[in-house]
Amino acid sequence: MFGFFYFTAMYIVYIIQSETSFKYYTGQTHDLADRLYRHNSGFSLSTKSGMPWILIYQVEHSTRSEAMILENKIKKRGAKRYLEDLGFFK
């Protein structure tokens, strides 16, 4: 008997914060562990100067398009304000 396996790739929207400059960075990925490694190893030019980075927020979406919509929403609003709207700092 053969079965079908349905694999669903999850896409993660994340916000990281620099421990040195306290700036925020928002991104989306399907492999969060690898992406955080790249941010903290200097492979990403946009986050190289703020190392080390810590993960402060993440949310999963079933499609990349949904993740990209949220990523753009956060970037337009600003990561700190977006987190404040969620009650993150209360």
- Domains of the chain plus CATH, in order, are 11-85 (3.40.1440.10)
pLDDT in tens, 70-90: 999 999 999 999 999 999 987
pLDDT in tens, 37-56: 999 999 999 999 999 999 99
Instruction: Write the secondary structure of the chain as one string of H (helix), E (strand) and C (coil).
Output: CCCCCCCCCCEEEEEEEECCCCCEEEEEECCHHHHHHHHHCCCCCCCHHHCCEEEEEEEEECCHHHHHHHHHHHHHHCHHHHHHHCCCCC
pTM for this entry: 0.89
